[in-house]
């Protein structure tokens, strides 16, 4: 397993094919077999010069080989060989290398003819029917190299009469002259994506941005309906590109643009994220853009344009979590039952408060239980509101606010559980040390609400400036880009482990307890009831969020989602049952 096998190509091709052994089968790793020769593509048959590169060199030196200029003007002499070659992985790699060389060496005075020839060459390897061949191109950065080469070449396009438009099925270039008195400029693209239909994109340069221009300039945009499928293969995030890739080449003074992307897959339950392609790091970066509006069909993005960093943009969508009527039913019924249970729990506590809080330990226990129930009640209500905010239309600021408070109150639930655990240790281990009620309240509020507030504020302050606070498909903490979810998972799981240790201490301590240790029987009885609460609730909460973590690791498992939905939705019922109803007192 993992062994590499390299085989030579068929006689009519040059290069090699690599295979890797996986599960006792040879799987193709890369295919560098090619029928094209990059150098021979420059050959001009009617010249004495053997290679076009040499021809270009001599032209620069002598000015006498005027015939060389005929091919250099628009590269038309090399197009037939390219278009007649199969778009196999090895040829794709060679054509990418060719386009890179042209953009580096021959991009002065890019006329309409040059851009048309360049686009025809690029279009050949961007055809939707062969896009799957890119997976076996040896250089995994070939898609990024192609994008940078096209952007560099198109950026030098000369505009005739203030505008230019060059359209191929799988790459389109448009350019306009712009100046500070121009009203907001826009580019519209409608392009073929596959044999079943077209996809659209829209670029707008806001009028307020154009006011920044000190002089007349040009704006050029390039649209790629299929290139996103190539670029996304480099991402660790399971999200995929769900729209065309739009490159925007502007003067440095213009820093913000508005882009509208039509979705390729119009899945209602899946969210979207606006991203920019980071040229240096060769990855999609969510920090470049923000979602302005989002519905089932289109996403509107506001993106920062940086000539050296962000010039190409698109939208990402995570693979949809499995949806089923059973999962929706469990969530709705369970949350309704949880909220009802928590309201009932708080109502019972209010009614019996004076009867069950006669000792300090009992008062502290019920005070913690009330705050646990209240925190989960608010979190459940926020859970519903967050889903409504996300499903109607992704209002980014509302989603951030809902996520912040949801994070805070879920953390508060666990930190009040931690306070309950500390209360057990206080009652069992610090027998002769008594604290006043005011000291307890101050300490409990600091732990129960103070710690969650600090963690929540730090999380949003660190990740939001990078647009990495929210996840794409829901109003909840991001996982794939910034791991913001760890700000909930780590404290919650740590508290669960510590409370389980407390339960072990209780078992050992109460087994050795005697009247001679100085414990009042009433206090000991209260401590045992507190310990039962912790012993029963801690594993249930731990199991709930353990399955929550499993849904992130395997987001497509319907079983994990159903178990998590069941446990999560019935947390309120657990608190009512084990915290109130089963308490005989």
Neighbouring CB atoms inside 10 A of 275's CB total 27
Q: For 24, left (φ over 0), alpha (ψ -120 to 50), or beta?
A: left
Beta bridge partners of 314: 275
**Contact in structure between 276 and 284 (CB atoms under 8 Å):** yes
Measured at the CA of 580, the angle between CA 579 and CA 581, to 5 degrees, comes to 120
CA 265, CA 393: separation in Å to the nearest integer?
17
Tokens of 556: 């497509």
Tokens of 328: 């929706």
Instruction: Count Cα atoms within 13 angstroms, Cβ side, for 67.
Output: 7
pLDDT given at position 190: 79
Helix extents (H) in 137-257: 142-154, 207-210, 228-231
The yes/no answer on whether domain 159-320 falls in CATH 1.20.120.1760 is no
Radius of gyration of the chain (CA): 32
Residue with tokens 């994990």: 560
Name the nearest CA neighbour of 282 among 243, 314, 250, 234: 234
Helix (H, G, I), strand (E, B) or coil at 235: coil
E-strand stretches of 295-400: 298-304, 310-317
pLDDT given at position 23: 82
**Contact in structure between 182 and 138 (CB atoms under 8 Å):** no
- Give the DSSP per-residue string, 323-338: --HHHHHHHHHHHHHH
**Contact in structure between 14 and 34 (CB atoms under 8 Å):** yes
Q: For 2, left (φ over 0), alpha (ψ -120 to 50), or beta?
A: left
Measured at the CA of 313, the angle between CA 307 and CA 317, to 5 degrees, comes to 155
CA 163, CA 153: separation in Å to the nearest integer?
17
C-alpha distances (whole Å) from 537 to each of 84, 448, 577 are 70, 17, 10
Name the nearest CA neighbour of 320 among 273, 272, 270: 270
C-alpha distances (whole Å) from 190 to each of 163, 171, 201, 203, 572 are 18, 11, 7, 12, 51
Contacts of 238 (CB under 8 A, 6+ apart): 318, 319, 480, 555
pLDDT given at position 52: 41
Give the pairing type, strands 245-249 and 197-205. unpaired
End-to-end CA distance of the chain: 63
pLDDT given at position 60: 41
pLDDT given at position 41: 65
Per-residue pLDDT of the chain (585 residues; tens, 9 = 90+): 889 999 999 888 889 999 999 888 899 988 999 888 766 665 442 332 333 444 444 444 334 344 344 455 567 778 888 888 899 999 999 999 989 988 888 777 888 989 999 999 999 999 989 998 998 998 988 999 999 999 999 999 998 888 899 999 999 999 989 888 777 777 787 776 665 578 889 999 888 888 888 888 899 999 999 999 888 644 445 678 889 999 999 888 888 899 999 988 876 556 678 889 988 888 888 878 888 888 888 899 999 888 778 899 999 886 555 556 677 788 888 888 889 999 999 999 999 998 888 878 788 888 988 999 999 999 989 888 887 776 544 567 788 899 999 999 999 999 998 898 888 777 666 655 677 888 889 999 999 999 999 999 999 999 888 777 887 667 888 877 788 989 998 998 898 888 888 777 776 766 655 444 444 455 555 555 555 656 555 666 666 766 666 666 655 666 777 787 777 777 888 788 877 777 766
Tokens of 209: 């941005």
| Topology of the domain covering 37-44+70-155 | 1.25.40
**Contact in structure between 537 and 530 (CB atoms under 8 Å):** no
Measured at the CA of 29, the angle between CA 24 and CA 30, to 5 degrees, comes to 155
Contacts of 470 (CB under 8 A, 6+ apart): 396, 399, 400, 403, 476, 477, 478
C-alpha distances (whole Å) from 377 to each of 132, 174, 342, 461 are 49, 54, 6, 26
- Return the domain boundaries, the chain: 37-44+70-155, 159-320, 325-513+521-580
Contacts of 28 (CB under 8 A, 6+ apart): 17, 18, 19, 136
CA 203, CA 4: separation in Å to the nearest integer?
46
Name the nearest CA neighbour of 288 among 311, 304, 307, 306: 304
**Contact in structure between 73 and 109 (CB atoms under 8 Å):** no
Neighbouring CB atoms inside 10 A of 513's CB total 14
Neighbouring CB atoms inside 10 A of 88's CB total 21
Name the nearest CA neighbour of 464 among 450, 478, 480: 478
pLDDT given at position 515: 43
pLDDT given at position 304: 87
pLDDT given at position 55: 45
Contacts of 158 (CB under 8 A, 6+ apart): 109, 110, 111, 112, 164
The yes/no answer on whether domain 325-513+521-580 falls in CATH 3.40.50.10580 is no
Name the nearest CA neighbour of 194 among 237, 228, 166: 228
Q: What is the number of H-type helices and E-type strands within the chain?
A: 17, 16
């Amino acid at each position: 397993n993992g062994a590499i096998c390299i085989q030579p190509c068929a006689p009519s091709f040059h290069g090699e094919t690599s295979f890797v052994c996986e599960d006792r089968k040879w799987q193709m790793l890369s295919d560098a077999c090619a029928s094209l020769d990059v150098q021979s593509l420059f050959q001009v048959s009617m010249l004495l010069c053997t290679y076009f590169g040499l021809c270009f060199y001599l032209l620069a030196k002598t000015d006498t080989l005027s015939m060389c200029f005929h091919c250099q003007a628009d590269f038309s002499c090399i197009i037939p060989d390219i278009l007649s070659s199969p778009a196999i992985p090895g040829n794709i790699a060679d054509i990418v290398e060719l386009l890179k060389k042209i953009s580096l060496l021959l991009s002065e005075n890019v006329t309409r003819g040059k851009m048309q020839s360049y686009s025809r060459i690029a279009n050949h390897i961007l055809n939707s029917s062969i896009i799957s061949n890119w997976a076996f191109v040896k250089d995994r950065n070939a898609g990024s190299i192609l994008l940078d080469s096209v952007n560099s070449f198109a950026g030098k396009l000369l505009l005739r009469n203030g505008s230019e438009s060059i359209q191929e099925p799988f790459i389109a270039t448009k350019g306009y002259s712009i100046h500070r008195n121009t009203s907001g400029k826009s580019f519209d693209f409608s392009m073929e994506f596959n044999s079943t239909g077209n996809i659209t994109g829209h670029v707008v340069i806001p009028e307020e941005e154009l006011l920044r221009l000190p002089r007349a300039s040009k704006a050029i945009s390039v649209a790629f309906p299929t290139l996103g499928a190539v670029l996304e293969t480099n991402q660790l995030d399971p999200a995929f590109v769900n729209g065309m890739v739009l490159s925007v080449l502007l003067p440095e003074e213009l820093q913000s643009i508005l882009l509208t992307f039509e979705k390729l897959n119009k899945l209602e339950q899946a969210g979207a994220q606006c991203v920019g392609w980071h040229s240096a790091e060769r990855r999609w970066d969510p920090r470049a853009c923000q979602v302005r509006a989002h519905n089932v069909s289109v996403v509107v993005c506001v993106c920062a344009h940086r000539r050296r960093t962000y010039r190409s943009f698109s939208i990402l969508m995570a693979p949809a979590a499995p949806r089923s009527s059973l999962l929706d039913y469990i969530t709705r019924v369970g949350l309704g039952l949880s909220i009802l249970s928590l309201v009932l729990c708080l109502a019972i506590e209010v009614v019996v408060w004076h009867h069950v809080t006669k000792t300090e330990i009992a008062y502290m226990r019920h005070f913690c239980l009330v705050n646990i129930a209240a925190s989960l009640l608010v979190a459940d209500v926020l859970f519903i509101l967050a889903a409504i905010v996300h499903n109607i239309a992704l209002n980014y600021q509302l989603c951030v606010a809902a996520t912040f408070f949801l994070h805070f109150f879920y953390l508060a639930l666990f930190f009040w559980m931690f306070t309950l655990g500390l209360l057990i240790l206080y009652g069992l281990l610090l027998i002769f040390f008594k604290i006043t009620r005011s000291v307890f309240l101050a300490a409990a509020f600091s732990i129960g609400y103070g710690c969650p507030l600090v963690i929540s504020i730090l999380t949003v302050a660190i990740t939001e400036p990078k647009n990495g606070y929210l996840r794409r498909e829901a109003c909840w903490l991001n996982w794939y880009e910034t791991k913001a979810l760890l700000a909930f998972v780590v404290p919650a799981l740590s508290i669960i482990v510590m409370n389980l240790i407390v339960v072990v201490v209780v078992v050992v301590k109460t087994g050795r307890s005697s009247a001679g240790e100085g414990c009042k029987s009433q206090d000991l009885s209260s401590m045992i009831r507190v310990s039962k609460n912790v012993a029963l609730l801690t594993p249930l909460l731990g199991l709930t969020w353990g399955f929550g973590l499993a849904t992130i690791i395997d987001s497509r498992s319907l079983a994990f989602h159903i178990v998590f939905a069941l446990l999560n939705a019935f947390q309120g019922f657990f608190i009512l049952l084990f915290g109130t109803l089963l308490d005989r007192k």
